[in-house]
């Protein structure tokens, strides 16, 4: 059976997961979350390509790469760029791949500046507020696409 690939893209400051603000983001590091995704992906026959960057343009480049590389779906936690980036909105629309928006916290239950999501204007789905489990639920939904 050919393995499908799900790309998991993480934006700014998510490299700090597990080191600060555990009351909001939990104690798991991004490597912990990636390991859980890889384990669940193995059960689903899905290869996980998990990346993190602090740079908006890099996220745009990786979305383009997902399209070129025949990726099945993208899980995207764009961090604060979720709420600011028309470039990410345009990229998600351009690649014509299913992108699922993911958040550890529930941005709509937080400050009002987190209520607007440019990513959400083009994403096919959103999983938020479940801590690291948001990524696992999103992966199961991606597998069903």
Enzyme catalytic residues: 25, 103
Q: Of 15-74, which residues contact ligand CA2 (CB under 6 A)?
A: 16-17, 20-21, 25
- 137 lines the binding site for ligand CA2 (CB under 6 A): no
What 3-state class would DSSP assign to 122?
coil
**Positive/negative CA dihedral, 116, 129, 30, 15:** positive
Task: Kindly list the strands in the beta sheet with 46-52, ordered across the sheet, starting from the edge strand earlier in the chain.
Answer: 46-52, 4-10, 73-77, 99-103, 125-128
- Candidates 42-50, 62-70, 77-85, 118-126; binding stretch for ligand CA2 (CB under 6 A): 77-85
Chain contacts with ligand CA2 (rule: CB under 6 A): 13-14, 16-17, 20-21, 25, 77, 79-80, 82, 103-105, 107, 114
């Amino acid at each position: 059976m050919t393995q499908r690939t799900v790309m998991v893209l993480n934006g700014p400051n998510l490299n700090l997961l597990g080191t600060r603000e555990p009351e909001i983001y939990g104690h798991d590091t991004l490597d912990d979350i990636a390991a859980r995704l890889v384990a669940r992906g193995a059960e689903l026959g899905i290869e996980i390509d998990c990346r993190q960057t602090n740079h908006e343009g890099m996220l745009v480049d990786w979305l383009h790469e997902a399209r070129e590389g025949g990726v099945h779906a993208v899980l995207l936690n764009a961090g604060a760029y979720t709420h600011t980036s028309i470039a990410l909105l345009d990229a998600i629309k351009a690649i014509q791949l299913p992108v699922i928006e993911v958040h550890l916290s529930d941005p709509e239950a937080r400050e009002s500046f987190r209520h607007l999501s440019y990513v959400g204007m083009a994403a096919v789905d959103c999983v938020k507020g479940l801590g690291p489990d948001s990524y696992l639920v999103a992966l199961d939904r991606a597998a069903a696409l």
